[in-house]
Chains A and B, each alone.
Chain A
Amino acid sequence: MRLLEYQSKRLFSSVGIKTPRGSVARVEQDAVDAARRLGLPVVLKSQVAVGGRGKAGGIVKVDRESDLSESFRRVKNLAIGGLRPEVILVEEAAPYQKELYVSIVLDRGLRRFILIASAEGGIEVESSGGRLTVPLQDGQVSKESAKELGGKLGLGGASLDDFVDIAVKLSTLSSKIEAVLSEINPLAVLRDGRLVALDAKVDVDDSAIFRHPELAQFSAAESLEAEAAKEGFAFVELDGSLAVIGNGAGLVLSTLDLVVDNGGKPACFLDLGGGASKDRIYAALELVNRFPKASKILLNVFGGITRCTDVALGVREAYEKGVISKPLAARISGAGQEEALQILRGLPVKVYTTIEETLKAAMT
Chain B
Amino acid sequence: MNPQSLDMLLDSAGLPIIVQGITGKIGSLHTELMLEYGTKVVGGVVPGKGGQSVHGVPVFNTVKEAVAVTSAKASINFVPAAFFFGAAEEAVRSGLKLTVAITEQVPVRDTLKLLKLSEENNATVIGPNTPGVIVPSRTKIGIMPPDPFEKGKVAVFSRSGTLMYEVAYHLSRSGFGQAIALGIGGDPINCTNLIECLDWVHGRKDIEAVVVVGEIGGDVEEKAVEHLSKKGNRKPMVAYVAGRYAPKEKKMGHAGAIILGSYGTAESKIKTFEGAGIPVALRPAEIPVKLGQVLKR
Contacts and interface: CB of A to CB of B under 8 A. Distances in A.
Q: Are A and B bound to each other?
A: yes
Interface of A: 50-51, 106, 108-109, 111-113, 126, 139, 175, 178, 180, 205-208, 210-211, 234, 236, 238, 246-254, 256-261, 266, 269, 271, 273-275, 302-305, 333-335, 356
Interface of B: 26, 29-30, 33, 81-82, 104-109, 112, 115, 143-145, 147-148, 158-166, 169, 186, 188-189, 193, 213, 215-216, 218-220, 223, 242-247, 249-257, 261, 266, 282-285
12 contacts: A106-B188, A109-B218, A207-B255, A248-B162, A250-B160, A250-B161, A250-B254, A254-B283, A254-B284, A256-B243, A261-B282, A275-B26
B81 A210 contact: yes
B288 to A, nearest CB: 15
Contacts of B166: 251, 254, 302
Chain A to chain B: the 9 pairs with minimum beta-carbon distance, closest first: A250-B160, A304-B145, A249-B253, A248-B162, A250-B163, A208-B107, A271-B253, A253-B242, A234-B253
B161 A269 contact: no
Question: Secondary structure of the A side of the interface?
Answer: mixed
A302 to B, nearest CB: 5
A54 to B, nearest CB: 16
Nearest to A139: B109
A50 B248 CA distance: 11
A163 B235 CA distance: 49
A79 B198 CA distance: 46
Contacts of A266: 245
Contacts of B161: 248, 250, 274
A231 B250 CA distance: 19
A304 B242 contact: no
Contacts of A274: 104, 143, 161
Contacts of B284: 254
Nearest to B254: A249
B245 A302 contact: no
Contact of B108 (A208, A247, A275): A208
Nearest to B226: A109
Contacts of B243: 253-254, 256-257
A207 B253 CA distance: 13
Given A180-B188, A251-B162, A253-B216, 11 more contacts: A108-B189, A246-B162, A247-B162, A248-B253, A249-B215, A250-B160, A253-B242, A253-B257, A257-B283, A302-B165, A305-B143
Contact of B245 (A249, A256, A273): A256
Contacts of A50: 249
A251 B160 contact: yes
Contact of A256 (B106, B169, B193, B246): B246
- With most chain B CB atoms within 10 A of its CB, the pick from A211, A248, A253, A258 is A253
A57 B143 CA distance: 50
Contacts of A51: 249, 261
Contacts of B247: 236, 238
Nearest to B26: A275
Given A249-B186, A260-B244, A266-B245, A304 B165 contact: yes
B253 A269 contact: yes
Contacts of A303: 145
Nearest to B162: A248
Nearest to B115: A111
A108 B242 contact: no
A210 B147 CA distance: 36
Contacts of A256: 243, 245-246
B107 to A, nearest CB: 4
A234 B104 CA distance: 13
B108 A205 contact: yes
A275 B161 CA distance: 12
Contacts of B285: 356
- With most chain A CB atoms within 10 A of its CB, the pick from B165, B250, B282 is B165
A304 B144 contact: yes
A356 B170 CA distance: 14
Contact of A178 (B81, B105, B109, B266): B109
Nearest to A269: B252
Contacts of A333: 169
Contact of B162 (A112, A302, A356): A302
A108 B218 contact: yes
- With most chain A CB atoms within 10 A of its CB, the pick from B106, B169, B189, B253 is B253
Given A250-B242, A253-B246, A207 B251 contact: no
Given A108-B256, A111-B189, A250 B145 contact: no
